Structure 1
Amino acid sequence: MTESPAHDPVQLRRAVASSFLGSLIEYYDFLLYATASAVVFDKVFFSSLDPLAATVASLGTFATGYVARPLGGVLFGHFGDLLGRKRMLLLTMTLMGVASFLIGVLPTYAQAGALAPVGLVLLRVVQGISVGGEWGGAVLMSAEHARTRRGLWASFTNAGAPCGMVLSTGAMTGTSAIVGQEAFLDWGWRIPFLLSIALLAVGLFVRLKVEETPVFRAVAESGARRRVPVLDVFRKHPRVLALGVGVGLAAFVAQSTLTTFVVAYGVQEGHARQSVLNALTISSACAVVGILAWSAASDRFGRRPIVVAGALAMGIYGFALFPLVATGDGALLVLALIVGQAVIHPMMYGPLAALYTELFSTENRYTGASLGYQLAGLGAGFAPLLFAELRRGPGTAVISWIIAAFCVLTVVCVLALKETSRQDLSGGAVPEPAS
């Protein structure tokens, strides 16, 4: 029997801090685009279209980032499983920072015509590839350094996403307040994107201090024959991968509904744009606590009970969300987003970091976890686009039914998997689906 690799508490703390900060920076850049696509890009890059069509086109470019994320998961997962987690994380952070900075200097449609939205889409693809490779590596850096409470430590990566949302929304809001609405649409929206370079420098400094995970080092030093990780995943664990994708779909559909579609929907229902952004900032800040708390609970009670409870709650809550927003009452808007984003959604989303990690063996864990998570993430990319199209018809009931259907799918897939919270990451065994 092979001896379990040694775990250094100092490196665990550094790994968790690095994963949290890296995720915050990556999602600041990635979700900055989400906010801009809902409130700015339709006027800046799609000004030749009517308002509703421009909104759909803007959210369409937002979706391209999610389409590119599985590619990033496979690409960086492959080399992360062969060469190490740390090297890939330095590269993903650099790509994201540079792509976001370049979005900040893009010409508008009025200045460059069709070349402007084309450049926007290309840079969004680079963002998607980067964040697709970032998540898996960041989660593994924390999970593979941890001996206990893996759900909590791994969830700091997921907690970085709402922190990035707070930072990105705050940057947009602050810039708009300082320069004024007219100047903001003219040039002020660029400032938050240009700040990405400064965040990149801080993130790289922190990440360089983290060592490779002991679990990966043990496998690398064993001299075991290395295969192509993505082929290994599809050949050995196709059912586990498929069920993993199904587990995450509802979380991502709900996430993009609460953080992207509701922004545009709230404005259309009469809320001031700033009021919607303020509500989103508050709920995102509260979501950090929700993610960490429910992930810690999954260490105690298991991943399956927490995720199933969250999916059932979200399936019901989807029918109350839009009526609450449509009242036009600012307090009810804040309440709707806090309940959805900070209480219910973290039950599905928080435990995913540890759960995806525990579904695969060390030799293909970066690839498998990234691919499962990012394929599920396609739900977040297309849900706002689909819902914006459905808004052309009467009512939002059909949107609520779609959310509920994804929640049912998640429940079925979770119950088809065995509990993973006691899985030993230093071993090679992968938990098979429940019969």
Structure 2
Amino acid sequence: MVTLDNSAPPDPSAPSTAAPRRERTTRVAVASGVGTIMEFYDFAIYGTATALVFNKIFFNVDDPWFGTFLGFATFAVGFVMAPIGALIFGHFGDKFGRRKALTAAFLLMGGSTLAMGVLPDYQAIGIVAPIILVFLRMVHGISRGGEIGGAALLAAEHAPTHRRGLYGCFVTLGSPVGGILANLSFALVLLMPMEQVLAWGWRIPFLIGGVVLAIGVWTRSRVSETPDFVQSKQAEESSPPAFAVLRQNWRRVALAAGINVGQNCYAFLLFTFMLSFLTETDPGRGFERSPVVLGSTLALACHAATVVLGSYLSDRLGRKTVIGFGMITSLLFAPALFWVTASGSLAACITVISIGFALTGFVYGPMLTTFAELFPITQRYSGIGIGFQVGAVLGGGLAPMIANRIVSATGSVIPVGIYAAVLMAISLCCLMVIRETAPALAGRPSLGQRLRG
């Protein structure tokens, strides 16, 4: 059974012998959230571009639906590389500090996004174009593996003990915010004639990522190292943290991956796969692109609201209570959600997608804080990164591609709902195994302990 490390961060009101003072809330919020915004902004614009235009400019094959599948395959490459990045950046983040590892990951991630924006298309350089695109996705995936774990620690380790959950939403909120910014940028681009979108307009959202990169570098340079890391003195130890967490706490890593797999699958099915299904004519629904993108933006706003609400409630009701509520309701709602998208109106489709996103917000909001509380300070960066990213590969990374093939094989989107429900059920089982990590409720036994008496 997993034994949790629920040690609290040092008291900010302690005498001068304690760790350095904690940063202002606003500074921590921007510094921790900006990287996640960039991360999911890039994934969102790439996913949107894959669903809407990349099957015509990089993966130009006779079957547009198969071209979309090829695009989703390169989308998955970014997820597959992320655990490697988690190993690399997790080691340096636990060994030499959160800030240094985060800065390196952020620069690499932003640089790859900008490079995609200037990459020549298939007509210009032929097969070399998609090869370079895949390479850039690999680079972005590696850097992404180092981003979210470090950002979660930047927030949680600067937070007062009783507000860790709320501070954690600075990071998780970056996901819907990045998605909203991506959708708005593409919605504006889609106001152009499609010929111009295909010729050069699709590049604009990628180049805008340079603005987020500049903001992120500036804000993170102004935030101090976290008090928890300073007190841990990990830099004096010799054992590689990434290997240590896999050797000593592999069960926690596996449970973290399992908890994330359902939410990640659900989210990327709704955001990425649904864009292609609702806009493609065969076997999709054939709706206009702009209303679908705007509707998806509304759904992400619902997700953002429940991310904040779920994070806030997790400090009071417990992480497991809030996450479990989101998992159970998402699991039960999945079949109905995909049944409506199979034949409902555009308004009905956007409504159920918004509800689905809102339910997963309760899962995602407190998740990273929960992961941070699962691991000892000297292994947190590695533990969060590896656990989260392995779950992301098995969940979100493969989900759009698998859903594409399910629809192609069955001619129906309804079985995709069963697929989403099954993965969410797996996550729920993993959640039931761990103990409560919220400081106010720490020590509450897990279901397995209660069953054993």
Q: Which TM-score applies when normalising by structure 1?
A: 0.94
**Residue 398 of structure 2: SS of its match in structure 1?**
helix
Correspondent of 1:244 among 234, 253, 256: 256
- Whether the 8 Å contact between 1:356 and 1:369 is mirrored in structure 2 is yes
Query: Structure 1 331/217 Cα, relative in aligned 2: closer, same or farther at 3 Å?
Result: same
Q: CA RMSD in A?
A: 2.2
Correspondent of 1:130 among 130, 140, 143: 143
Deviation at 1:74, TM superposition (A): 1.0
CA–CA separation in structure 1 for the residues paired with 2:305 and 2:134: 33
Correspondent of 1:419 among 423, 436, 440: 436
Deviation at 1:396, TM superposition (A): 2.8
CA–CA separation in structure 2 for the residues paired with 1:152 and 1:308: 17
CA–CA separation in structure 2 for the residues paired with 1:3 and 1:144: 9
Moved more, 179-188 or 253-262: 179-188
CA–CA separation in structure 2 for the residues paired with 1:130 and 1:370: 11
CA–CA separation in structure 2 for the residues paired with 1:363 and 1:226: 11
CA–CA separation in structure 2 for the residues paired with 1:42 and 1:134: 29
Query: Structure 1 110/3 Cα, relative in aligned 2: closer, same or farther at 3 Å?
Result: closer
Correspondent of 1:286 among 299, 302, 324: 302
- Whether the 8 Å contact between 2:23 and 2:223 is mirrored in structure 1 is no
CA–CA separation in structure 2 for the residues paired with 1:409 and 1:11: 38
Deviation at 1:191, TM superposition (A): 1.2
Other-structure match for 2:85: 72
* Residue identity matched to 2:187: T
* Residue identity matched to 1:293: L
Other-structure match for 1:216: 229
Query: Structure 1 42/423 Cα, relative in aligned 2: closer, same or farther at 3 Å?
Result: farther
Other-structure match for 1:374: 389
Query: Structure 1 433/238 Cα, relative in aligned 2: closer, same or farther at 3 Å?
Result: farther
Correspondent of 1:63 among 59, 70, 76: 76
CA–CA separation in structure 1 for the residues paired with 2:34 and 2:212: 10
Moved more, 190-199 or 384-393: 190-199
* Residue identity matched to 2:381: Y
Structure 1 unaligned segments of length 5 or more: list them: none
Deviation at 1:400, TM superposition (A): 1.6
Deviation track 1:124-161 (CA, whole Å, cap 9, x = no partner) reads 11111112111011110010011221011012101011
CA–CA separation in structure 1 for the residues paired with 2:206 and 2:297: 18
Correspondent of 1:396 among 405, 413, 416: 413
CA–CA separation in structure 2 for the residues paired with 1:389 and 1:193: 28
Other-structure match for 2:163: 149
Q: Does 1:357 align with 2:407?
A: no
CA–CA separation in structure 2 for the residues paired with 1:266 and 1:354: 34
Query: Structure 1 93/423 Cα, relative in aligned 2: closer, same or farther at 3 Å?
Result: farther
Other-structure match for 1:408: 425
CA–CA separation in structure 1 for the residues paired with 2:83 and 2:335: 30
**Residue 227 of structure 1: SS of its match in structure 2?**
coil
CA–CA separation in structure 2 for the residues paired with 1:397 and 1:280: 19
- Whether the 8 Å contact between 1:72 and 1:130 is mirrored in structure 2 is yes
Correspondent of 1:344 among 359, 364, 369: 359
> Aligned runs of 1:234-273 on 2, under 5 Å?
234-267=246-279, 268-273=284-289
Structure 2 unaligned segments of length 5 or more: list them: 1-6, 12-17
CA–CA separation in structure 2 for the residues paired with 1:163 and 1:415: 30
Other-structure match for 1:171: 185
CA–CA separation in structure 2 for the residues paired with 1:50 and 1:18: 43
* Residue identity matched to 2:310: W
- Whether the 8 Å contact between 1:12 and 1:142 is mirrored in structure 2 is no
Other-structure match for 1:321: 337
Deviation track 1:291-335 (CA, whole Å, cap 9, x = no partner) reads 010111111111111112211111111111122223342221221
- Whether the 8 Å contact between 2:10 and 2:228 is mirrored in structure 1 is no
* Residue identity matched to 2:256: G
Other-structure match for 1:26: 39
CA–CA separation in structure 1 for the residues paired with 2:10 and 2:328: 41
Moved more, 230-239 or 247-256: 230-239
* Residue identity matched to 1:270: G
Moved more, 118-127 or 147-156: 147-156
Moved more, 244-253 or 46-55: 46-55
Other-structure match for 2:55: 42
Percent of aligned pairs sharing the same letter: 34
CA–CA separation in structure 2 for the residues paired with 1:138 and 1:361: 17
Query: Structure 1 423/359 Cα, relative in aligned 2: closer, same or farther at 3 Å?
Result: farther
CA–CA separation in structure 1 for the residues paired with 2:323 and 2:243: 29
* Residue identity matched to 2:429: V
